[in-house]
Chain A
């Protein structure tokens, strides 16, 4: 049995080692490079991108969709596992909450980048029409940011109080901050009652919010009558895809944190095994939706659909498409079916592969459809039928990904990545049960 002191010793935020500092510096450098590229884009306009009259959405939008999908991890793990009484979730939920918050914040930032001038954000409010899914997106993203923040913050209150005491002598300034953030938490029954009730309601509440977020994201595409998007399958397809992206991101981040903070005692092979089963389930569901999405258009063979599918199956995007399907779904499913595949290190590589597949999957959802317009025009330059991001787009997109990782890194630096109080409570409960048994 671990005492609270031992738990605090193991789980309280720590200064980064050299590798951590190097990692943070690298992320800052990538972010700065992206910010410079973005300033240049604002100054010179979107001419610096390779977007054109056909590919009017490029990697900014596919990256936005990826962030929105990844933010679903808060819903799929924290809430679903909580409401289904899966107690093994304790060491992983906070990391999921952190990823969720970082991803949805960066989704909001990315959509502003795609608008060109940032002041155009105001137009979304000034000229908002409730008939447009874009307006729904403008409403749901800030809502989901606040809910994700609350889902992270409420369970942190007892931990902040513990950290306030823990750092009182070691780092009084940090202790003061934790004290303020703990909102005078004493652990009284009244406080506990309000906190538990709030967490329970948020856990229920974030499920419809997450589903609405993913569905609106899907409807941004499916309401446009475009080949490859015009599908009633799209909402469910996006939700299942978001589950894959979210859980794979969680697996990858958990492995890194576990290794960096030496948390093998808390995040065990058992947790990876459970997460592996969870990931394989989400991958199978997503593969099923993919089959629906591609098989029926291929079967009905409408001319426009076939043109689009040929681009994916054998055309200019074939290598990416098959990488996403085979590398991002089929191989992970087979690997995760075996117990050895659900060990931490294989899980890390599989998670990384699935994350990579998830990112390119969003690119494949957005771009090939745009390159095959519903009403083809004559005399269109050949270059309009192709799209590959410019250096500016890569730098800016790289920076958004780096910023998301930076948010995660900073939160991991200053927050306990495993809930201390809850772990202590579970240890006490375990102890009490054992005493009663003997």
Chain B
């Protein structure tokens, strides 16, 4: 009888603990504070190439700004009240993603020629729902290189694509593509004139592979047009002479290309030494025979 009572009491205590713990778990899960996700985006247009939106997702966690990976974002085109989803993209391990708009003809501007892109996040267990929109107008940069009095100039013209009118007083950057960082040529700020044009002299002696240089004319992070870039290739650089030692006999070559002095002297020493050794062994034979 006493054992039966102990068993029942034990069973009740265990059931109570199980239920209380289950309830606590639920309360704990609900009590997790969600972080606010920050989305930043900028529009980039490459002339005769892709247009894309660079997106970064970050959050402030424990007083530090951290990039947030694996965030699925919805990309939409907004025209007035109408929202048309274009597609979805997910941030990589650095919290960055690039959504490519292959042609601006696939999206619609409003009546003033302004395109609006909405980037929205639906929220998840850790981050709150959020969104960000960017607006931009379409611009064109036409660039070419001309030579005047043996000096090369970069001529570029900035136009509003919708109206075809020149864009004045905007600064364009002229630079040459390099391995780590572009090399800026001309002034820091090359403002467009009333024709939307700039003329930047190109200095001599810029090295390039086979003399080919890749120039970029960039309207950088403009409030109205975003970033617009055009690329011009021209064989006006100084050819880089790559001094390959591949076919030469060097200390770092394979053994088939050993430097001659290393073939001659160590072999002379080695064969010389072993020549003496053979002579000594021969002398041992002579001693044994005499």
**Which A residues have a C-beta under 8 Å from some C-beta of B?**
127-131, 136, 139, 143, 146-147, 150, 153-154, 157, 183-185, 188, 190-191, 194-195, 197-198, 201-202, 205, 209, 212
What is the 8 Å Cβ interface bit string for chain B, positions 32-54, against chain A (1 contact, 0 not)?
A: 00000000000000000000000
Query: With A131-B252, A147-B277, A190-B290 given, is the CB distance from A183 to B263 under 8 Å?
Result: no
- The answer, yes or no, to whether B276 is at the interface (CB within 8 Å) is yes
- Residues of chain A within 8 A (CB-CB) of B253 are 131
B258-A183 in contact (CB<8A): no
- Residues of chain A within 8 A (CB-CB) of B19 are none
Q: Which 9 A-B pairs have the closest CB atoms?
A: A183-B288, A129-B255, A190-B290, A130-B262, A198-B283, A131-B251, A130-B258, A191-B287, A150-B280
Measured between alpha carbons, how far is A139 from B277 in the docked complex, in Å?
Answer: 14
B259-A202 in contact (CB<8A): no
A-B contact pairs, 24 of them (CB 8 A): A129-B254, A129-B255, A129-B258, A130-B255, A130-B262, A130-B266, A130-B267, A131-B253, A131-B255, A139-B270, A143-B273, A143-B277, A147-B273, A150-B277, A157-B287, A183-B287, A184-B287, A184-B289, A188-B290, A194-B283, A195-B283, A195-B287, A202-B280, A205-B273
- Residues of chain A within 8 A (CB-CB) of B280 are 150, 154, 198, 201-202
A183-B284 in contact (CB<8A): yes
Please give 20 more A-B residue pairs, beta carbons under 8 A apart, in addition to A136-B266, A190-B290, A201-B276: A129-B254, A129-B255, A130-B255, A130-B263, A131-B251, A131-B262, A139-B270, A143-B274, A147-B277, A150-B280, A153-B284, A154-B284, A183-B287, A184-B288, A191-B290, A194-B286, A194-B290, A198-B280, A201-B280, A205-B276
- The answer, yes or no, to whether B269 is at the interface (CB within 8 Å) is yes
Closest residue of B by beta carbon distance from A209: B273
**Which B residues have a C-beta under 8 Å from some C-beta of A?**
251-255, 258-259, 262-263, 266-267, 269-270, 273-274, 276-277, 280-281, 283-284, 286-290
Measured between alpha carbons, how far is A129 from B263 in the docked complex, in Å?
Answer: 10
B277-A131 in contact (CB<8A): no
In the complex, what's the smallest C-beta–C-beta distance from A157 to chain B, in angstroms? Answer: 7
- Residues of chain B within 8 A (CB-CB) of A197 are 283
A185-B266 in contact (CB<8A): no
- Residues of chain B within 8 A (CB-CB) of A194 are 283, 286-287, 290
In the complex, what's the smallest C-beta–C-beta distance from B104 to chain A, in angstroms? Answer: 45
Measured between alpha carbons, how far is A191 from B290 in the docked complex, in Å?
Answer: 7
The residue among B253, B274, B283 with the most chain A CB atoms within 10 A of its own CB is B283
- Residues of chain B within 8 A (CB-CB) of A154 are 280, 284
Closest residue of A by beta carbon distance from B288: A183
Measured between alpha carbons, how far is A205 from B280 in the docked complex, in Å?
Answer: 11
- Residues of chain B within 8 A (CB-CB) of A212 are 269
Measured between alpha carbons, how far is A205 from B274 in the docked complex, in Å?
Answer: 11
- Residues of chain A within 8 A (CB-CB) of B270 are 139, 143
In the complex, what's the smallest C-beta–C-beta distance from A209 to chain B, in angstroms? Answer: 7
Closest residue of B by beta carbon distance from A153: B284
Of the candidates A131, A143, A184, which one forms a contact with B258 in the assembled complex, judged by CB atoms under 8 Å apart? Answer: A131
Measured between alpha carbons, how far is A194 from B252 in the docked complex, in Å?
Answer: 46
- Residues of chain A within 8 A (CB-CB) of B255 are 127-131
Measured between alpha carbons, how far is A194 from B290 in the docked complex, in Å?
Answer: 10
Closest residue of B by beta carbon distance from A190: B290
In the complex, what's the smallest C-beta–C-beta distance from B60 to chain A, in angstroms? Answer: 26
Closest residue of A by beta carbon distance from B262: A130
Measured between alpha carbons, how far is A212 from B265 in the docked complex, in Å?
Answer: 13
Closest residue of B by beta carbon distance from A195: B287
In the complex, what's the smallest C-beta–C-beta distance from A128 to chain B, in angstroms? Answer: 7
- Residues of chain A within 8 A (CB-CB) of B262 are 130-131
In the complex, what's the smallest C-beta–C-beta distance from B250 to chain A, in angstroms? Answer: 8
In the complex, what's the smallest C-beta–C-beta distance from A114 to chain B, in angstroms? Answer: 23
- Residues of chain A within 8 A (CB-CB) of B290 are 188, 190-191, 194
Measured between alpha carbons, how far is A69 from B7 in the docked complex, in Å?
Answer: 82
Measured between alpha carbons, how far is A191 from B286 in the docked complex, in Å?
Answer: 8
Measured between alpha carbons, how far is A201 from B282 in the docked complex, in Å?
Answer: 14
In the complex, what's the smallest C-beta–C-beta distance from A52 to chain B, in angstroms? Answer: 27
A146-B277 in contact (CB<8A): yes
A185-B274 in contact (CB<8A): no
In the complex, what's the smallest C-beta–C-beta distance from A341 to chain B, in angstroms? Answer: 39
Measured between alpha carbons, how far is A301 from B263 in the docked complex, in Å?
Answer: 39
In the complex, what's the smallest C-beta–C-beta distance from B264 to chain A, in angstroms? Answer: 10
Measured between alpha carbons, how far is A197 from B287 in the docked complex, in Å?
Answer: 12
Measured between alpha carbons, how far is A195 from B286 in the docked complex, in Å?
Answer: 10
A139-B266 in contact (CB<8A): yes
In the complex, what's the smallest C-beta–C-beta distance from B142 to chain A, in angstroms? Answer: 47
Measured between alpha carbons, how far is A341 from B107 in the docked complex, in Å?
Answer: 99
In the complex, what's the smallest C-beta–C-beta distance from A350 to chain B, in angstroms? Answer: 35
- Residues of chain B within 8 A (CB-CB) of A205 are 273, 276
- Residues of chain A within 8 A (CB-CB) of B286 are 194
Measured between alpha carbons, how far is A209 from B290 in the docked complex, in Å?
Answer: 30
In the complex, what's the smallest C-beta–C-beta distance from B249 to chain A, in angstroms? Answer: 10
- Residues of chain B within 8 A (CB-CB) of A150 are 277, 280-281
- Residues of chain B within 8 A (CB-CB) of A130 are 255, 258, 262-263, 266-267
Measured between alpha carbons, how far is A209 from B280 in the docked complex, in Å?
Answer: 15
Closest residue of B by beta carbon distance from A204: B276
- Residues of chain A within 8 A (CB-CB) of B283 are 194-195, 197-198
- Residues of chain A within 8 A (CB-CB) of B252 are 131
Measured between alpha carbons, how far is A198 from B276 in the docked complex, in Å?
Answer: 10
In the complex, what's the smallest C-beta–C-beta distance from B46 to chain A, in angstroms? Answer: 36
Closest residue of B by beta carbon distance from A144: B273
Measured between alpha carbons, how far is A191 from B276 in the docked complex, in Å?
Answer: 18
- Residues of chain B within 8 A (CB-CB) of A202 are 280
- Residues of chain A within 8 A (CB-CB) of B276 are 201, 205
In the complex, what's the smallest C-beta–C-beta distance from B248 to chain A, in angstroms? Answer: 13
